Structure 1
Amino acid sequence: MAIFLNADSKVIVQGMTGSEGKKHTQRMLASGTTIVGGVTPGKGGQKVEFEGGVSVPVFGSVAEAVEATSADVSVIFVPAKFAKAAVVEAVDAKIPLAVVITEGIAVKDTAEFFTYAQQAGTTRIIGPNCPGLISPGKSNAGIIPANIAEAGRVGLVSKSGTLTYQMMYELREFGFSTAIGIGGDPIIGTTHIDALEAFQADHETDAIVMIGEIGGDAEERAADYIKDHVTKPVVGYVAGFTAPEGKTMGHAGAIVSGSSGTAAAKKEALEAAGVKVGKTPSETAGLMKEIMQGLAK
């Protein structure tokens, strides 16, 4: 099992013919992802050749790609100014999962395409400004390196792409059911709570790592959810313990005002929900190692 993405997922790449789209399509193919097509308006009918003799067809629209391939995941690598239109197109084609890698999208555009997707009720959005998600050994939709961890029984949800990679590497001896980078923008499609709910329901996920960061109240809301709905062990890390108050740090969503949104406040809320919280990523990984070793006994 895995959450949101598995070995049967059929993936298209919006923006596959661009430099970033092509580079990361090659990496996804190398990690075993079933890439069934690319989408670039005006380039329908072409093919893109990849290493290993793989030839991937290009379609002029998401609707055409879905009709021809039965794709159920789209990874979006289009420039920020075109991202809203790309997501709307994926929603109109009823793609079940749209992974928006693009960074720098205007918050207004994100709010509009997220609302559009919610109203349609057919498409889960991950991102924007995220590394995507990987179910090691099954599929990889985005830019997460596939060689840093194998399949296993830890679930990971993280606001930070870099910390996603670090945590996967630090816990590589245990492996992951799915690791998902949800992005750190003020508005994102899939939240910590969405991932926690899915990991709780996944019978092949034994424990969960949750990585947050300063700003907003997403981690506090996740703590409330954990308290009421999650029975599996959860460890957490909140990036930004040393951040100066009142200064915007890192992601667009990482804004601290007074005591609201601080790492200390988030740590306190998580610990009150029974979550063990590390002060560093390595300490957090150590807490999870202890849990996994305990479960193995």
Structure 2
Amino acid sequence: MSIILNEKTRIVVQGITGKEGRFWTKHMIDYGTNVVAGVTPGKGGQSTAGVPVFDTVKRVTAAMPVDASLLFVPPRLAKDAVMEALDADIKTIVVLCDGIPLHDTLQMRSAAKAAGALVIGGNTSGIISMGKAMMGFFPYWLDRVYRPGRIGIMTRSGSLTNEVTAELVKAGFGASSLIGIGGDPVPLTRFVEVLPLFENDPETDAVVIIGELGGTMEEEVAKAMENGIFTKPLVSFLGGRTAPKGRKMGHAGAIITGGKGTVEDKIAALQAAGAYVAKRPSMVGEQLKDFFGQTKRIT
């Protein structure tokens, strides 16, 4: 089982005829992802990677059922593309681009919540259900990083994700689903909103979150654990532990505001809630072994 995405999920790719859209659509299909159509205004009737291209999302949904949409569009077009997908009653949308204007992000999140939709991003690598399907930028052919298993992963960082998941594999584990929440200041979906999906997934035994300084998403996870919303083992690695005080570093979302968002505050909250906090990526796998011993390992 997996959350959000599996091999049967019918996906439309908005912006499929661009360079990145063409390249990653082919890799998604090679991985087993069910890409049913693409959308690029003015290029309806063409095909890319064997996928039919339509002028609008509504023309796709009029022709075939669609479950999810993946956006390969620039930041200035992200809001319009999300609204088009929501208007076509698509309930799962992944927005890959970074640097989306803040007011656009707020409008997109509000519209998604009103529609009962899950919109993930921006500034994300996407989502992948290991061995089944992916929506985004994942070099799945790296077996030392992307191996199926029973550990759910949520992350704010693309580069740190590969490092941490490689350590999981080294320790003998694999992942069920990996969700890139993204590193923009206002994520369209927050860690705490995904936790219940992992909680209810019988094939996810524990969750790893890859966070960083700035924002309050990690503290929200701690509160969810304290309130019993999430009861499975949780291990966290937080980037920015050694960042100089008073400096803005890394993602746009990695900004400490109002005295909140420091790594120290996040560590204290998570540990108080019963989570493990790894000091180094190499410790994540070792801490999972402390939870499970050898019984849950993937060899």
Shorter-normalised TM-score: what interval?
over 0.9
Q: How does 1:64-75 map to 2 (within 5 A)?
A: 64-75=59-70
Q: TM (normalized to structure 1)? A: 0.94
Aligned partner of 2:129 in structure 1 is 135
Aligned partner of 1:174 in structure 2 is 173
List per-residue Cα deviations over 1:74-99 (Å, max 9, x = no partner).
Answer: 11010111111000001101111000
Q: TM (normalized to structure 2)? A: 0.93
1:150 Cα shift? Answer: 2.2
Residue 194 (structure 1) aligned with residue 193 (structure 2): yes
Q: Do the aligned residues in 2 keep the contact of 1:114 with 1:125 (CA within 8 Å)? A: yes
Q: What residue identity is the alignment partner of 1:68?
A: A
Q: Give the stretch that moved more between structures: 270-279 or 112-121.
A: 112-121
Q: What residue identity is the alignment partner of 1:153?
A: R
Which portions of structure 1, spanning 4 or more consecutive aligned residues, are displaced by more than 4 angstroms? none
Distance in 2, Cα, partners of 1:32 & 1:85: 29
Where structure 2 has 5 or more consecutive residues not aligned to the other structure, the ranges are: none
Q: How does 1:197-236 map to 2 (within 5 A)?
A: 197-228=196-227, 229-236=229-236
Q: Do the aligned residues in 2 keep the contact of 1:159 with 1:212 (CA within 8 Å)? A: yes
1:246 Cα shift? Answer: 2.0
Q: What residue identity is the alignment partner of 2:133?
A: S
Where structure 1 has 5 or more consecutive residues not aligned to the other structure, the ranges are: none
Q: How does 1:72-83 map to 2 (within 5 A)?
A: 72-83=67-78
CA separation of 1:293 and 1:64: change in aligned 2, threshold 3 A: farther
SS of the aligned residue for 2:293 comes to helix
Aligned partner of 2:160 in structure 1 is 163
SS of the aligned residue for 1:171 comes to helix
1:210 Cα shift? Answer: 1.0
CA separation of 1:259 and 1:187: change in aligned 2, threshold 3 A: closer
Q: What residue identity is the alignment partner of 1:116?
A: A
Q: How does 1:79-158 map to 2 (within 5 A)?
A: 79-121=74-116, 123-147=117-141, 148-158=145-155
Q: What residue identity is the alignment partner of 2:146?
A: A
Q: What residue identity is the alignment partner of 2:80?
A: A
Q: Do the aligned residues in 2 keep the contact of 1:209 with 1:288 (CA within 8 Å)? A: no
Distance in 2, Cα, partners of 1:150 & 1:281: 17
Q: What residue identity is the alignment partner of 2:89?
A: K
- Taking only aligned residues, the RMSD between alpha carbons, in angstroms, comes to 1.5
1:191 Cα shift? Answer: 1.1
Aligned residues: 291
Residue 14 (structure 1) aligned with residue 14 (structure 2): yes
Distance in 1, Cα, partners of 2:266 & 2:285: 18
Aligned partner of 2:33 in structure 1 is 33
Distance in 1, Cα, partners of 2:292 & 2:13: 36
List per-residue Cα deviations over 1:159-204 (Å, max 9, x = no partner).
Answer: 1111222222222232111011100212112211122111011011
List per-residue Cα deviations over 1:124-175 (Å, max 9, x = no partner).
Answer: 1010110111001111011122233222110001111112222222222321
Identity among equivalent positions (%) equals 45
Distance in 2, Cα, partners of 1:296 & 1:193: 25
Distance in 1, Cα, partners of 2:215 & 2:245: 13
Q: What residue identity is the alignment partner of 2:96?
A: I
Distance in 1, Cα, partners of 2:213 & 2:94: 24
Q: Do the aligned residues in 2 keep the contact of 1:259 with 1:265 (CA within 8 Å)? A: no
Residue 61 (structure 1) aligned with residue 56 (structure 2): yes
Q: Give the stretch that moved more between structures: 225-234 or 253-262.
A: 253-262
